[in-house]
Structure 1
Amino acid sequence: MPKVTQEYMDARRKQILEAARRCFLRDGFHSTSMQDLFAESGLSAGAVYRHFASKNEMITAIVEENMRDVLAMVHSAAEKRPSHSVGALMADVLDIVKAKTAEQNIAGLSVLAWSEALRNPSLARQFDDLMAQMRSALTDVVREHQRSGTMPGEASPDGIAAALMCILPGYILQLAMGDAKSMEEVPGALRALWPNSAASTD
C-alpha cells in the first residue's frame, strides 16, 4: 500500500475546510449535515472522518485558522516591534481581517461562530482562549508604550488592551453585514488616533 504523504494529508484537510466554509456560509452550521459536507468536498465519509470527527471540530479548526494571522501580528508587535504604534498595530489587524474577508468571508464565518459559541461550550472555550492570547499580547504592547512614555500611564495596560479588543468585533460585524465601504477609513483613523510618537521622545 503506498505511503500517504503529509502534503497529501494537508491538501485533503484544506479541501474539507474550504468545503465546510462554503456550506456554513450558505446554509449555517445547524442546517449543514455531514452528508452535505461529503458532497461539497467531493470526498468519501471515511476520508472526511479521517481528519474531523464532527462538524464541531471543523468549526473549531476554521476559527483557529481565521485567528492565526491576527494573533501572529499581535505577538510580533509585542515581541519584536515595541516601537510600532498601537494605532498602526490595530490598523494592521483590521487590514488582515478585511483581506481575509475578501478571500474567505471570515467576517461572516466569525459572526456565525460567535452565535454558535453561545450554545456550544467547547467552541466558547476555544474563543475564550484565542481572545485571551490576543489580549495578553496587546497588554504587553501597551505596557511597553507606557514604559517608553508614548502612551499615557493612567489606565492599566490590561484595561487599555481590553478596550482595544472591543474594536475588532464591531469591525468584523459591520464587514459581515456588507458595510465594507463605510469601514474603509477605519484603519487610517486608528493610525491617526494613536500615532507613533516614539521618535518625538528620543
Structure 2
Amino acid sequence: MPRVSEAHLAARRQQILDAAARCFVRNGFHQTSMQDVIKEAGLSVGAFYRYFKSKNELITAIATEKISAVTGVLDQLLEQEPMPPIVTVIERILEIVDVSVDEDGPVRIAVQVWGEAVHDPEVGLLVAEIYGRVRERAVRMAERARAAGELPPDADPAGVGAAFFGLVQGYILQRILLGTVDRQLYMNGIRALLA
C-alpha cells in the first residue's frame, strides 16, 4: 500500500478543522454532532476518526490554530526595536478581530469556546493554557513599555497585561453581542483611559 504524504495528511486534517469550524459557527458546539462534521468534511467515518477521536479534540485543535494567529502577531511586535506603543499593539489586535468576526470567522468560535470552558473542565484547562499564553505576552509587553518609559515606573506589568487582555476580550464580546462597535471609537476610549 502506498505511503500517504505528510502534505496529504496535513491537508486532510485542515479539511476536517475547516468543516468543524463551519458546523460550530452555524449550529454551536452542543448542536453539532461528530456525524455533522464528518458529513460537512465529505469523509468516511474511518477517515475522520484517523485524525480526531472526539469533539473536544476538534475544539482543542481549532482553538490552538486560531489563537496562534494572535500570539504570532504579538511575538512579531515584541521582537521590534523599539516595540510599538501598547495602544498601537491593541489596535493591531483589534484589526485582526475585525477581520475575523464575520459569520464564518474564528472570533465567533472563540466566544463559544469561552462558554464551553465554564461547563467542561477539559475545555476550561485548554482555554486557561491557550489564553494564558496571550496574557503572558501582554505582560512582557507591559514590562518593555515600563522600561521604555511608556508606563510609570511603579506600573505592575501583570496588572497591565491582565487589563490589556480584558480590553481585547471586551471588544470581541461587544462585536459579537452588539453587532457593530466602531474600532476607532473604542480606541479613543482606550487612549482616554491611558492618558
Give me the TM-score of the superposition, normalised by structure 1.
0.87
Give the Å deviation of 1:105: 1.9
Summarize deviations over 1:125-146 as a string: whole Å, max 9, x none: 1111122211221111111121
CA contact (8 A) 2:17 2:58 kept: yes
Gaps of 5+ in 1: 196-202
Structure 1 segment 1-202 matched on structure 2, within 5 A: 1-102=1-102, 104-177=104-177, 179-180=179-180, 182-186=181-185, 188-189=187-188, 192=191
Equivalent-residue separation in structure 2 for 1:92 and 1:176 (angstroms): 18
Equivalent-residue separation in structure 2 for 1:58 and 1:143 (angstroms): 35
Summarize deviations over 1:86-119 as a string: whole Å, max 9, x none: 0111111111122122383222111111111111
Summarize deviations over 1:46-103 as a string: whole Å, max 9, x none: 1111111111100111111111110111122223344311011111111112212238
Point out which structure has higher relative CO (alpha carbons under 8 A, 6+ apart).
Answer: 1
Gaps of 5+ in 2: none
Give the Å deviation of 1:26: 1.7
SS in 2 for 1:30: coil
Equivalent-residue separation in structure 1 for 2:13 and 2:136 (angstroms): 30
Report the identity percentage.
34
Taking structure 1 as reference, are residues 168 and 98 closer, same or farther at Cα in structure 2, changes over 3 Å only? Answer: same
Across the aligned residues of Structure 1 and Structure 2, the Cα RMSD in angstroms comes to 2.1
Equivalent-residue separation in structure 2 for 1:80 and 1:123 (angstroms): 33
CA contact (8 A) 2:94 2:183 kept: no
Paired residue type of 1:116 = E
Equivalent-residue separation in structure 2 for 1:136 and 1:178 (angstroms): 29
